Structure 1
Amino acid sequence: MSVRKIASIAVFGVLLVSISACSTPGANSALCDATGNADLVTAAGEFGANPDVTFPTPLVSPDLGVTESITGDGKPVRAGGVVGGTLFIYDAETGDPIVAADQAVLLPTENYAFPFTKVLQCGSVGSRVIATGTADELFGDRASQFQIEPEQSLVLVADILHAFLGRADGADQVARAGMPAIVTAPSGQPGFTFPDSAAPTELTVDLLKKGSGSTTSAGDQVIVNFSSINWKGEQLKDTTWETAPAAVVLDENAQGASLPPEVITSLVGQTVGSQLLIAVPGDQTVVYVIDVLGIAE
């Protein structure tokens, strides 16, 4: 199976999120077993490519249905994890395509997740999952962001290409004195408490959690969650925790990077599962907390 790099793409102004089905620890077994009308859908064709999807129309799907048309035998999706995969959405009444993401996109299962994404935690790398239901059931009160009526029945097909962490899970480390104290919410999102001392005058990199996963190298595409804030600021400058994780190429000259070159360079040689605290000096010192979730290998 060939593996593609992640492309964070927006459809109708929203980062895509997806679904999946099987049986792994932490998954909701009721969701994993909710076949519904999903078994009336077939999705043939090469894994990771545009599927040949057929189903009887109109396909009325008042309840959530999930089935696995290809059983994955790779790394399971962890509870709260992030999937890299393809996603296709169809009008269940007409069979017409609504969304076609045939390049790998990041699909979080918890933070900023749509209701149907919880079943991604049932799947594994290599799974092709089919889900059916109404837009309201699948997307909740954000169905309108996809320009879809809440009562509209949909068919979704997702191929799971990658399985990443949802948050840093490494062993706790001690940051140096004079740096902000970081406390994470249950979701994993960090909060900042600043000391009375002045901001660092040079680039400062501290390890808050030491992961046990693979080590990043220059040129890798790394999946991260991050938050940034001005030194002693009261509001975040930027965060992925309220949208979707970022795919960052570890090349300080990369075009369109979501992180500054000093931060990108600091991510080289880190292990998956780690959390870093980085202060970047300038006219206004900016502090970053970054969770290394995985490498798109």
Structure 2
Amino acid sequence: MRRVIALAIAGALMLSGCVSGPPDASASVSASGNVDEITVGNADDGKSPTLDIPEGKVWDTAQTEVLWEGDGDQLVDGQPLLLDMYGISLADGSELINSYKGLARSFLLAPELLGQDLYDALLGARVGTRILHVSPAPADNPDGEPPIALVIDVLPTHAVGTAVDPLSDMPVVTTAADGTPSVTIGSNVQQPTDLQVVTLVQGAGEQVRTGSFVMVNFTMVSWDGEVLDSSWPEEVAPLEVEVGSGQSIQAIEDGLLDQTVGSQLLILAPASYAYPDKGPVVLVVDILDVFTPEDS
């Protein structure tokens, strides 16, 4: 568990949050705590959970409670994961991670990255599931790490909205079972002279605005079909973009504006919107998560 928390905290936007009913360090400790004694509040989509922890408990065993079941794809060993995570110390109630006040965290479903207990808890779960996981302090604990409680939401790693009928004069996008797209540019498709954005899947999530931080999976191909860049290989994390910052190519920043989480976009961009030395490009972009600071 130390591994996943260290990775998540290093990448997360850490902002202080409210924890209701933190454990009282002065209370007498007599009984082992059970995960079903912890009350999870604030179930609104996208909002930070709250945790009400019983006092006077020893948290010495790994435990997991499924708070609700998802209906998405079933998780398998080694696959990419996208997790929203809220975690507190069970020693003093302090907040350790809150990705709900930032972007979700990307992992692979592997015990060496997540720890065996959390790996076991997530393996076989479905996308959309929320779990409450208790992890005891390590047996070998030179750094004095506390036991922790984690609320974890399993998010999709590809578009999950409503499919939109494709246009006949656009490149054809096909997707593998895991969401990996491939692009075929027919002879009837005209090279773009301006940015063109077509919605292939309409998501129902939060809208992207100027100043939003957005996490996407994407594939970029040249006009002759060569893959120039992609976030889809398992060893590559999704791309994080701050819209309006100018840190990413204009085709992506402009193409994301006003779109919604869960959507898949087909973007045709002249060279001036991407890479002048590569000619026009086609991008397929799946919007996975959005965080807009003014909304936090």
> Within the alignment, does 1:261 sit opposite 2:250 as a pair?
yes
User: TM-score scaled by structure 1?
Assistant: 0.53
Q: Compute the RMSD of aligned alpha carbons.
A: 5.2
Q: Which secondary structure state, in structure 2, belongs to the residue aligned with residue 121 of structure 1? A: coil
Aligned to 2:200: 209
Amino acid corresponding to residue 128 of structure 2 in structure 1: Q
Q: In the TM superposition, what are the counterparts of 1:142-157 in structure 2 within 5 Å?
A: 155-157=148-150
Aligned residues with identical type, % of pairs: 18
Larger-Rg structure: 2
> Within the alignment, does 1:275 sit opposite 2:264 as a pair?
yes
Cα deviation for residue 248 of structure 1 reads 3.9
> Within the alignment, does 1:227 sit opposite 2:218 as a pair?
yes
Q: Which secondary structure state, in structure 1, belongs to the residue aligned with residue 183 of structure 2? A: strand
Q: Which secondary structure state, in structure 1, belongs to the residue aligned with residue 128 of structure 2? A: helix
Where does structure 2 lack aligned partners over 5 or more consecutive residues? 1-5, 14-32, 75-80, 111-118
> Aligned match of 2:151 in 148, 153, 158?
158
> Aligned match of 1:186 in 172, 177, 180?
177
Contact 1:42 1:55 in 2 (8 A): no
> Per-residue displacement from partner, 1:234-264 (whole Å, max 9, x unpaired)?
555131674555554432xx16x4x422321
> Aligned match of 1:238 in 210, 226, 230?
230
- TM-aligned CA distance change 1:219 to 1:96, over 3 Å: same
Q: What CA distance in whole angstroms lies between the structure 2 residues aligned with 1:294 and 1:166?
A: 10
Aligned to 2:18: none
Cα deviation for residue 89 of structure 1 reads 6.8
Q: Which secondary structure state, in structure 1, belongs to the residue aligned with residue 60 of structure 2? A: coil
Aligned to 1:88: 87
Cα deviation for residue 233 of structure 1 reads 5.6
- TM-aligned CA distance change 1:263 to 1:44, over 3 Å: closer
Q: What CA distance in whole angstroms lies between the structure 2 residues aligned with 1:218 and 1:163?
A: 21
Q: In the TM superposition, what are the counterparts of 1:1-297 in structure 2 within 5 Å?
A: 10-11=7-8, 37-39=34-36, 48=48, 56-57=57-58, 59-61=60-62, 64-66=63-65, 79=72, 85-88=84-87, 100-103=96-99, 104-107=101-104, 112-113=108-109, 115=119, 116-117=121-122, 118=125, 121-123=128-130, 130-132=132-134, 155-158=148-151, 166-175=158-167, 177=169, 180-195=171-186, 200=191, 202-211=193-202, 213=204, 216=207, 218-219=209-210, 221=212, 223-231=214-222, 232=224, 234-235=226-227, 237-239=229-231, 242=234, 245-246=238-239, 248-251=241-244, 254=245, 257=247, 259-280=248-269, 281=271, 282-284=276-278, 285-293=280-288, 295-296=290-291
Q: Which secondary structure state, in structure 1, belongs to the residue aligned with residue 174 of structure 2? A: strand
Amino acid corresponding to residue 132 of structure 1 in structure 2: V
Q: What CA distance in whole angstroms lies between the structure 1 residues aligned with 2:59 and 2:149?
A: 15
- TM-aligned CA distance change 1:294 to 1:164, over 3 Å: farther
Q: What CA distance in whole angstroms lies between the structure 2 residues aligned with 1:80 and 1:223?
A: 23
Equivalenced residues, count: 231
